[in-house]
């Protein structure tokens, strides 16, 4: 009786690497940095200001380039969901203004 060899064959390893490379390529094509405009960041700032002034939670839905972002501004000044827009969640300022490019 012959024992089966344990381990991974070179063909199996190449197939897995090809699948991973294809997935990485698709993600790279789908990823679009900088889709959100300064107008969207302005909407986040206005929602934050309205929440601070009214003392109520303000919810805003923003869409740009086929992507939709839900932003929630709290009366204490915090903003949830604004990170993907490049907005600091505590100050409401654009991250470009906080961390300028060198």
Which pLDDT tens digit goes with each residue over 43-95? 888 888 899 999 999 998 877 667 777 888 899 888 887 666 666 666 666 66
Q: Please state, in angstroms and rounded to a whole number, the distance separating the CA atoms of residues 25 and 88.
A: 30
Does residue 52 belong to any structural domain of this protein? yes
Total number of domains constituting the chain: 1
Domain housing 83? 38-98
- pLDDT tens for each residue of 12-52: 999 999 999 999 988 877 765 555 555 566 788 888 889 99
Q: Is 11 a domain residue? A: no
Q: Please check whether residue 80 lies inside any domain of the structure.
A: yes
* 85 vs 76: CA distance, rounded Å: 20
Domain membership of residue 89 (yes or no) is yes
CB 94 within 8 A of CB 41: yes
Looking at the domain assignment, is residue 8 inside a domain? Answer: no
- Residue 14 belongs to a domain: no
Question: The pTM is what?
Answer: 0.51
> Virtual CA dihedral for 29, 87, 64, 25, nearest 10 degrees?
10
């Amino acid at each position: 009786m012959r024992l089966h060899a344990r381990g991974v064959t070179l063909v199996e390893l190449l197939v897995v690497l090809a699948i991973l490379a294809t997935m990485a390529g698709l993600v790279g094509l789908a990823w679009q940095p900088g889709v959100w405009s300064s107008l969207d960041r302005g909407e986040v700032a206005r929602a934050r200001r309205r929440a601070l002034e009214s003392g109520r939670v303000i919810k805003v839905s923003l869409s740009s380039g086929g992507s939709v972002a839900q932003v929630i501004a709290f009366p204490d000044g915090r903003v949830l969901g604004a990170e993907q827009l490049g907005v600091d969640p505590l100050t409401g300022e654009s991250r470009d203004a906080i961390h300028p490019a060198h």
